[in-house]
Structure 1
C-alpha cells in the first residue's frame, strides 16, 4: 500500500511539473487577415488541436482571426496562405511531449459572407468545431476526435466523416447530407434535406423534427436509431431491420405490410419517398 501511495505521489508530481513547465515561456499569439470574398472560391483548413469557429458576416470580406498561446521560440502556430482563389489555413502543434498538449492553445475564427465560397474542406484532428449560419455550396469535414456543432447551415452538398467525435447538426437546409461515423453519436435536428445517408459503426443516430424528404437511410452496427418528423409524412415506403427485434413505428396512416422478428415494412400514401433503417444490435424508433 505504501509503495502504491508513493508511486501515485510521484506520478502526480511529474504531471504537475510537466503542466507547470508547459505554462512557462508562453506568449499570446494574435493574427487577423481579410480577403475580398468575391475573389475566393475555396477555403481549406488543416487543424491539429485548436478550436475552429466559422460564422456568417455581413461584411464583403472573409476575415480570419487567430487567438491563442505559443511557446517563446515557436514559429507561428497558425499559417494562412492565399493561392489564386483558394485560402489555406494550417494550425500545427509544436514543442511539448512529442506534440502532446494538456489543453487546447487557441481558436481560429473565420467569418464568411453568404453564398460567396463554393467549397469548404476541413480536416480536424482534436479541436472542437463550431459553425453558425454559414451558407456555402459544398462542405466536407473530416474529423478525428473533436466535437462538431453546426447550426443554421445552408448548403448544396455536405459530407461529415468522423472517427470518434460527436456531431450535432441543427436547423439547417441542405440538398444532400452524408454522415459516416465511427464511435461518435450523431444528432440531426430540424434539418431539411431531400437526401440523407447516415452510417455509424458504434454511435447512436438521432434524426429529429425533420421534413419529409425523398430518401432517408440510416445504418448502425451497434447504436440505436431514432427518427421523428416535424409533421406526419404523406408518402413513405418504410423498411426497418434490427437483430434485436426492437422496432417501434408510430406514424399516422402507416400501413404495416410485413413484420417478422427482425424486420418491419409498410407504407404511407403512395409510398413515393423511402425511409430505410438498419441496426445490427440497436433499437429503432420512428414517430
Structure 2
C-alpha cells in the first residue's frame, strides 16, 4: 500500500511539473531601441544564454515565458537593459528541480558597442560571431562557448567559469591580442598567446575545467 501511495505521489508530482513546465514553454520576445542603451546586464540561474549578431536596429530578447508570471523579464532602467531569469523549477518544488534546457536568446545589432555583462550560476553561455567589446562573462559552473570571434575592441575582456569549460574560436586570426589563461587543462591550437603588439587582452579563466583555443 505504501508503494502505491509513493508511486501515486510521484505521478502527481510529475503531472504538476509537466503542467507548470508547459505554461512557460511558449517562447515570446521583446525589442528595445539600441539608441537608448548604454549597458546590458544578463543574469540567469540554470537557464542557458545565447548571444548572436543581427542585422536589425533593435536589441531583441527571446525566452520561454518572457514576461509571463515573471519567469524571465527584460526591463529598462535609465540606460540599462536588465534581462533576468526570475524563477526556476526549485522555486515551485521546495528546492528540488528537474534538469531543463531552457535558454534566453539575445540578438545584438552589429553596431552595438556598449557594455555587456553576462552572468549565470549553472547555465551555459554561448556567443557566436560577435566582436568582443566592453564585455564581461562569468559563470559559477556552466560551460562557456565563444564561437568565431570577429574582433576584440577593448583593452581587457574577462571570460571566467568556476568549474565549467571554456571553448574559444576566432573567425580570423587575431592581430593585436594578448591571451592570459588560467586553467586545469589547456589546449591552444593557435600555438602562442601574443599576436602583434598585444594591446588588447583576453583573460580566459577556468581553474577546474578545460580550456580550448582554436
TM-score by length of 2: 0.75
1:195/1:147 CA distance change after superposition, 3 Å: same
> How many Å separate the matches in 2 of 1:220 and 1:30?
32
Residue 160 of structure 1: aligned partner: 159
1:143/1:225 CA distance change after superposition, 3 Å: closer
Contact 1:68-1:105 at 8 Å conserved across structures: no
> How many Å separate the matches in 2 of 1:14 and 1:198?
49
User: How many residues are matched?
Assistant: 201
What 5-or-longer segments of structure 2 have no aligned partner? Answer: none
1:24/1:197 CA distance change after superposition, 3 Å: same
Residue 40 of structure 2: aligned partner: 43
Residue 62 of structure 2: aligned partner: 65
2:122 is equivalent to residue 126 of structure 1? yes
> How many Å separate the matches in 2 of 1:83 and 1:151?
30
| Residue pairs, 1:91-170, within 5 angstroms | 91-94=85-88, 95-104=91-100, 106-153=102-149, 154-155=151-152, 156=154, 157-170=156-169
Superimposed CA distance per residue, residues 171-230 of structure 1 (whole angstroms, 9 cap, x where no aligned partner): 157xxxxxxxxxxxxxxxx66552111112xx2111112565256999998989999xx9
Higher share of residues assigned helix: 2
Aligned-residue RMSD, C-alpha:
3.8
Residue 205 of structure 1: aligned partner: 186
Superimposed CA distance per residue, residues 36-85 of structure 1 (whole angstroms, 9 cap, x where no aligned partner): 21322211011011111110001111111112599xxx822111111222
Larger radius of gyration: 1
Residue 248 of structure 1: aligned partner: none
What 5-or-longer segments of structure 1 have no aligned partner? Answer: 1-6, 174-189, 231-287
> How many Å separate the matches in 2 of 1:107 and 1:225?
23
Higher share of residues assigned strand: 1
Contact 1:19-1:102 at 8 Å conserved across structures: no
> How many Å separate the matches in 1 of 2:126 and 2:46?
14
Secondary structure in structure 2 of the residue aligned to 1:98: coil
Residue 88 of structure 1: aligned partner: 82
Higher relative contact order (CA closer than 8 Å, sequence separation 6+): 2
Point out the more displaced range, 112-121 or 212-221: 212-221
> How many Å separate the matches in 2 of 1:141 and 1:13?
44
Alpha-carbon shift at residue 113 of structure 1 (Å): 1.2
